[in-house]
Structure 1
Amino acid sequence: MTTIVNTAQDQAWNGPEGAHWARHQDRWNAVNDGFNTPLLDAAGITGAHRTLDFGCGAGQTTRLAARRAPRGHALGLDLSAPMLAEARARAAAEGVDNVTFTRGDAQTHPYDEGTFDAAISRYSAMFFEDPEAAFAHIGRALRPGGRLALVCPSDPGLNGWVTAMTSLRGILPVGDFGRPGVPGMFSLADPDAVRALLAAAGFTGIAVEETRAYGTWGRDAADAADFLLATGPGRHLMDQADEPTRARARTALTEHLRAHETPGGVRLLSTAWLVTAERPRFPPRA
Structure 2
Amino acid sequence: MSEIVNTEQAQAWNGPEGAHWARNQDRWNAVNEGFNEPLLDAAGLAEGHRTLDLGCGAGQTTRLAALRTPQGSALGLDLSGPMLAEARSRAAREGIDNATFQQGDAQAHPFEPGAFDAAISRYGVMFFSDPEAAFHNVGRALRPGGRLAFVCPAEPSLNGWVTAMSVLRDVLPLGDFAAPGLPGMFSLSSPDRIRAVLAAAGFRGVAVDEVEAYGTWGHGADDAAEFLLNTGPGRHFLGQVDTAAQDRARQVLTQHLRGYEAGDGTVRLRSTSWLVTADRPADPTAA
User: Same fold judged by TM-score > 0.5?
Assistant: yes
Per the alignment, residue 270 of structure 1 pairs with 271
Q: Which string of whole-angstrom CA distances, capped at 9 and with x for unpartnered residues, describes residues 229-255 of structure 1?
A: 000000000000110110000000000
Q: 1:90-101, aligned counterparts within 5 Å?
A: 90-101=90-101
What letter is aligned with 1:267?
R
Per the alignment, residue 147 of structure 2 pairs with 147
Q: Which string of whole-angstrom CA distances, capped at 9 and with x for unpartnered residues, describes residues 45-93 of structure 1?
A: 1210000001000000000000000000000000100000000000001
User: Aligned equivalents of 1:29 and 1:285: distance in 2?
Assistant: 38
User: Aligned equivalents of 2:80 and 2:107: distance in 1?
Assistant: 15
Supply the RMSD in Å over aligned alpha carbons.
1.1
Q: Which string of whole-angstrom CA distances, capped at 9 and with x for unpartnered residues, describes residues 201-231 of structure 1?
A: 0000100000000000000000000000000
Q: 1:245-256, aligned counterparts within 5 Å?
A: 245-256=245-256
Per the alignment, residue 183 of structure 2 pairs with 183
1:126 equivalent to 2:133? Answer no
User: Aligned equivalents of 2:152 and 2:262: distance in 1?
Assistant: 26
Residue 157 of structure 1 aligns to a residue whose secondary structure is helix
CA contact (8 A) 1:177 1:185 kept: no
User: Aligned equivalents of 2:200 and 2:180: distance in 1?
Assistant: 17
Per the alignment, residue 283 of structure 1 pairs with 284
Per the alignment, residue 109 of structure 1 pairs with 109
User: Aligned equivalents of 1:54 and 1:169: distance in 2?
Assistant: 34
User: Aligned equivalents of 1:262 and 1:285: distance in 2?
Assistant: 51
TM-score, structure 1 normalization: 0.98
Per the alignment, residue 20 of structure 2 pairs with 20
Unaligned runs of 5+ in 2: none
Q: 1:1-286, aligned counterparts within 5 Å?
A: 1-180=1-180, 182-264=182-264, 265-284=266-285
Q: State how many pairs are aligned.
A: 286
Quote the sequence identity (%).
70
User: Aligned equivalents of 2:136 and 2:146: distance in 1?
Assistant: 13
Unaligned runs of 5+ in 1: none
User: Aligned equivalents of 2:72 and 2:136: distance in 1?
Assistant: 24
Q: Shift of the alpha carbon at 1:181?
A: 5.2
CA contact (8 A) 1:156 1:177 kept: no
CA contact (8 A) 1:72 1:98 kept: yes
User: Aligned equivalents of 2:164 and 2:99: distance in 1?
Assistant: 37
User: Aligned equivalents of 2:72 and 2:211: distance in 1?
Assistant: 28
User: Aligned equivalents of 2:175 and 2:123: distance in 1?
Assistant: 21
Structure 1 residues 284 and 178 mapped into 2: Cα distance closer, same or farther (>3 Å)? Answer: farther
User: Aligned equivalents of 2:286 and 2:236: distance in 1?
Assistant: 50
User: Aligned equivalents of 2:80 and 2:285: distance in 1?
Assistant: 36
Residue 284 of structure 2 aligns to a residue whose secondary structure is coil
CA contact (8 A) 2:128 2:182 kept: no
Q: Shift of the alpha carbon at 1:176?
A: 1.8
